[in-house]
Amino acid sequence: MRPAIFFDCDGVLNEEPGGHGVLGPNDIRLIPGAGKALRTAREAGYLAIIVTNRAQVAKGFVTLAGLETIFERLRELLARDGGIIDAIYFCPHHPERTPGGAPEFQIVCECRKPGTLLLRRAIADFDIDVGRSALIGDSLRDIGAGRAMGLTSYGVQTGFACRDVERYPDRAPPEPDRMFADVGEAVAFCVAHPWKYGQAGQPD
Ligand SMILES: [Mg+2]
Ligand SMILES: [Zn+2]
């Protein structure tokens, strides 16, 4: 079994553009140090796996083919700094029926984070050791998905900075195990603390 670091995409590896989000390859602007962070993760023996909500597909703003061009650009920019992604798992769904949307993707699903199906698929596909793995996200949706899988879940101050508490009007929001300035700091900490953070009996 191998450990993995699961990365959210927008707000962690590339800037969160706001509005409707990333709609094309030209909307991809790397967060400084993201490529190097991926390289550090893989050199330390971690799989680098992206888990990302892409509701723009359900909303009719991006086609699946368009999404591929976005991911291609992301991979290309990250690779300039030696960053390689082992796999990208995405959710194209959204539960709302909005005009102009793609009805086949306008469904309630289990993959849209904080749902855990993307993580469960990746863990099965790559035989991932959850206890030695971690997730890095900028949204409480990411943190919620990670916590639900028992993953150490780190937040970053870039993107939404885990301040999207309005998603949890009637219950306590999930809390990141720890916050970092950016993905570079978060990966450096992961690599230096290979066991589940705070797990009893493991080196801290
Ligand atoms: Mg994000
Ligand atoms: Zn989904």
pLDDT in tens, 3-23: 999 999 999 999 999 999 999
Which residues sit with Cβ closer than 5 angstroms to ligand 2, an ion? 91, 93, 109, 111-112
The ligand that comes nearest to the alpha carbon of residue 121 is 2
Stated as kind and residue range, the H or E segment containing 42 is: helix 34-43
- Tell me which residue of 81, 104, 80 sits closest to 92, measured CA to CA: 104
The whole-angstrom separation of Cα 117 and Cα 113 is: 8
pLDDT at 201: 45
- Residue % of the chain over a pLDDT of 90: 91
Residue 105 pLDDT > 60, yes or no?
yes
Confidence band, pLDDT 50/70/90 cuts, at residue 198: low
The whole-angstrom separation of Cα 150 and Cα 23 is: 32
Q: Give catalytic status of residue 8 as yes or no.
A: yes
Residues 80, 84, 140: CA angle, nearest 5 degrees:
110
Buried b (16+ CB within 10 A) or exposed e, 11-49: bbbbbbeeeebbeebebbebbebbbbbbbbbbeeebbbb
Residue corresponding to tokens 């790397």: 30
What one-character DSSP code corresponds to residue 26? G
Residue 53 pLDDT > 70, yes or no?
yes
Which residues sit with Cβ closer than 5 angstroms to ligand 1, an ion? 8, 10-11, 138-139, 159
- Tell me which residue of 120, 136, 109, 117 sits closest to 55, measured CA to CA: 109
Contact between 175 and 155 under an 8 Å Cβ cutoff? The reply is: no
Tokens encoding 98: 């909005």
Average pLDDT of the chain? 94
**What is the SS3 assignment for 43?**
helix
pLDDT at 200: 47
pLDDT at 203: 46
pLDDT at 194: 80
Residue corresponding to tokens 């030209």: 26
**What is the SS3 assignment for 80?**
coil
Confidence band, pLDDT 50/70/90 cuts, at residue 83: very high
Residue 89 pLDDT > 80, yes or no?
yes
Each domain of the chain, given as residue ranges in start order, spans 7-128+156-180
pLDDT at 204: 43
Q: What are the pLDDT digits (tens) for 135-190?
A: 999 999 999 999 999 999 999 999 999 999 998 889 999 999 999 999 999 999 99
Average pLDDT (31-53) is 98
**What is the SS3 assignment for 14?**
strand
Q: Which of 10, 86, 142, 182 is catalytic?
A: 10
**CA 9 – ligand 1 centroid, Å:** 6
CATH superfamily of 7-128+156-180: HAD superfamily/HAD-like (3.40.50.1000)
CA distances from 8 to 48, 98, 114, 154, 202 (A): 11, 25, 12, 11, 26
Report residue 53 CA to chain centroid gap.
8
